[in-house]
Structure 1
Amino acid sequence: MKFKTVLEGQQAIVTDHLGKVELIVGPQRVFLYRKRLTVLRDYTANRREYLVIHDKDGLVTHKPGPCQVFLNPYLHESIKVEPAIILDGTQLLVVYKKSHDNVVTRRLVNGPQVFIPEAEEWFHEFTWHGPSPDDKTKIVKCQRKFTKLTIIPENMYYNVTDVRTQDDTTLTLKIMLFYELKDAVTMLTMTHDPIADLINALCADVVAFAANLSYAAFLGQSSDLSCLKSYPQLIQRAERIGFEVNKVVYRGYQASSQLQNMQDNAIKSRTQLRLNTEVEEREQKLVQFRLQREEARSKLKQERQLSEHEHAQALDRMTQEHDLQLASLDHHQNVELTQLDTQAKLELEEAKNKSEEDFLRELSKLKVDMTKYLVNQHHFEINKEVNVVNLN
């Protein structure tokens, strides 16, 4: 006989000698006589967790947190704390649920959210091809295992090996593929491994592209491998399984060691020729530049001489025009002076004649014989001129 105390926040079960079980919820003081007290273990889940409760009768219950449940060994088989599924905005879950009439339904749970499944629900676990940990260009079967499906654009590197050209040259082509999931329902219906489907379609298109070209023609047209029109099977297969191919990038190729050495030597020779050509072009451009500068200087010199000659001609023309203007001015002045002199002489002669006329008129008034006077005057003038001539 003894007393036991069950504290507040605790639970316990009391079993008597007959096997009868009683649940005790604390705080409580229990008297034990031919009884056994067992403190129950508690399980607690926070807001991002839930409890998986397995009952003795096989019933499974999921209880979202925050919560607390005590494990009663007479009622519960087990209790387990499980984390909730945290989805961001780029993820979704494929959830299956079995109803009471054994009908399984499927639904998509999109993020962002904290998802807690029901007891009758389970997740679709994807098993896809994925890049090898040692080499990202090698895709390994069953490498990616996950339940959260990403719905944002993704990319992968892949090397398509053993690609033969028309002239039987073996190459390894390096491809980078950008793709995006568009329809998850179509993907779940049409394929169980979309990466494998995309890789197979990509290899088929690359092999078909190279098979119709010789090695030299392939080198000239290899840039077409970065165009989506070169991948009809890839685009068709992606649409059929709910994906979209956004872009394909051709990253180059790799050949056998012997062919690669030949190619390297050819590249080296072409590079050397290109360098020699560039040097020759630079020298030719330098010579051409010098000739152009010489021609420009010669043209500038000719233009300067022509300008000087035109300037001298302009000065001569201006000098001649100035001389002509001076001569014309002198001529006009001389003409004006002559006119003035002639006019003065005429005025003087006119005044003299008028004076003589007045003189003769006065003599006539004095009764002088004008005929005799004029004859004598005429003889006087003649004698005067004769004397002047003799003196000369």
Structure 2
Amino acid sequence: MTLGWRTLDVGEKALIYSKDGSSRIEEGPQRLFLFREVFKKMRCFSASQKEYLKINYKSGQIEHRKGPCTVHENEIIHVSVRIKNLISLDANEVLVVYTQSNKAEQVLRRIQYGPTLFMRGENEWLHNFSWHGIDSDDKTRMNPSQNNFTQLKVIADQFYYNVDEVRTADDAILRVKLMMFFELTDIEQMLDSTQDPMADFINCLSADVIAFAAKKTYEEFIETASDLNNLENFPLLLERSQTIGYTVSKVVYRGYFAHDKLQMMHDVMITRRTELRLKYEKEIQEQELTDKKLQAEVDRLEQEQQMELDKLLHDQKLEKDALQHALNLESKSHENTMDKQRRENEARLNEKIASDTVKHQYLQDLYILKVDLTDLLVTQAGKPTRVTNIIATKDSASIHLHHNDVSAYRVISKDD
């Protein structure tokens, strides 16, 4: 019991119990005088924008109140009031939420995608995943139930894994190192098909690698180990990934590890093969050098022959040009001579024509004067150097005789 004054500040509340067992709630700011009463301050719980209040009532009811909000804990009706953080989801994260339906008495499942701040309902709970996870001491080892979470990532991811105790056809024991890239594509199918996809992945990887190595000897495995980079060599992995809603985009072969003695033997063989390869490459280089020398000599001879041929062709061209020039000069000289002779002939012809024209005019004038031109011409011609007699019969064909000098011919008929 209390006797005296009590003060409540702004935002404070108090629960006052009277002597008869009744109670009341007083809210500040105020100053209270208490007489035979019990004074209990109510604890204040405040939630920000990223928080919510979980209120448990004595009636069994649970209430989730999203912030920002404030609640004073009332011990009469409240069992507890707790501040909880809202679940922050990124763009590549989801939550699997189960809801208990009061009316239908059944559980519904839904997928909550990010980005968002998520608050569970009073009748909701989240799916807890428990998968194989990476060992903190060895990133290539997967331990059961190592990875426990509620926020499921749907972005592409990868993990390292070493497949131990891989036996070849000649009983060599190897450890094969792999890296796998995968992506979740169907969440509902994954939830319905498997409880631990990582366990399915490592089991299928191990089975496919063991099947791949079992058909090959140690040397054959080393020569064909790069084929493990091809997805077609992982049929079980591809089939299982499609069944559980995943897509495997790539498997990378990172190497292998063998027993020390086996590795030593292999190193010796590698050294021997390397020496032989170096000798082979040296011989190839020497042969190539010899070939290049011979080829250079052949090219040099061909170049010299080409130079001689070019010189010969050049000399022939010069000689041809000289002959052509001389021929052109001779042709031009001949043309000049012929032109000169033509002009001289034309001059003589013109002179002859002029002389004949004058003579013809002279004879024509004499003919007009009734002069006997025949006697005149015979007299001027003098005695002929020769006389040609042509005798024709009566019925013979007519004969025409043309001669520049008519005085040299005499036609005599048969009657003469």
Per the TM superposition, whether the score is higher than 0.5 is yes
Of 167-176 and 261-270, the range deviating more from structure 2? 261-270
- Residue 52 of structure 1 is matched in structure 2 by 54
Alpha-carbon spacing, 1:320–1:71, altered in 2? closer, same or farther (3 Å): closer
AA aligned to 2:157 is E
Give the corresponding residue for 2:280.
277
Which digits, 9 at most, give the CA deviation of each residue in 1:77-105, with x for residues without a partner?
Answer: 11111100000110011112223365322
- Whether 1:136 and 2:139 are equivalent positions in the alignment is yes
Q: CA deviation at 1:119?
A: 1.9
Q: Does 1:289 align with 2:292?
A: yes
Q: 1:104 aligns with which of 103, 107, 122?
A: 107
Deviation at 1:182, TM superposition (A): 1.3
C-alpha distance in 2, partners of 1:69/1:330?
A: 134
Kindly provide the CA deviation profile for residues 116-163 of structure 1, in whole angstroms up to 9, marking residues without a partner as x.
111221111111101111111111111111110001111111111111
Greater shift after overlay, 254-263 or 213-222?
Answer: 213-222
Distance 1:241 1:329, change over 3 A: closer
2:310 maps to 307
Cα distance in 2 between the residues matched to 1:336 and 1:36: 158
Change (3 A) 1:259 1:335: same
Partner SS state of residue 137, structure 2:
coil
Aligned to 1:152, the other structure's residue is in SS state: coil
Summarize the Cα distance change of 1:333–1:151 in structure 2 as closer, same or farther, 3 Å threshold: closer
Q: Which amino acid aligns with 1:75?
A: I
Distance 1:257 1:336, change over 3 A: same
Aligned with residue 166 of structure 2, among 157, 163, 166:
163
**Within-5 A mapping of 1:112-123:** 112-123=115-126
Q: Which amino acid in structure 2 is aligned with residue 190 of structure 1?
A: S
Q: 1:335 to 1:87 in 2, by over 3 A?
A: closer
Seen in structure 2, the aligned counterparts of structure 1 residues 272 and 69 have a Cα distance that, compared at 3 Å, is same
Output the amino acid matched with 1:21.
S
Matched, 1:200 2:225: no
Cα gap change, 1:310 to 1:125, in 2 (>3 Å) = same
Give the corresponding residue for 1:242.
245
| Partner SS for 2:56 | strand
Cα displacement (A) at 1:106: 1.8
Q: Higher mean Cα deviation, 306-315 or 182-191? A: 306-315
Deviates more, 1:182-191 or 1:286-295: 286-295
Kindly tell me the number of residue pairs found equivalent between the two proteins.
Answer: 346
Unaligned runs of 5+ in 1: 348-370, 372-392
Partner of 1:43: 45
1:1-392 aligned at under 5 Å gives the runs 1-100=3-102, 102-321=105-324
Q: Please give the secondary structure, in 2, of the residue aligned with 1:33.
A: strand
Q: Which residue is 2:355 aligned to?
A: none
Flag the 1:10–1:331 CA change in 2: closer, same or farther, 3 A. Answer: closer
Find the aligned partners of 1:15 and 1:227 in 2 and give their Cα distance: 78
Compute the TM-score of the two structures, normalised by the length of structure 2: 0.76
Corresponding letter in the other structure for 1:200: N
TM-score normalised by structure 1 residue count:
0.81
Cα distance in 1, alignment partners of residues 53 and 279 from structure 2: 78
Give the AA of the match of 2:170.
D
Q: Secondary structure at the match of 2:155?
A: coil
Matched position secondary structure for 2:75: coil
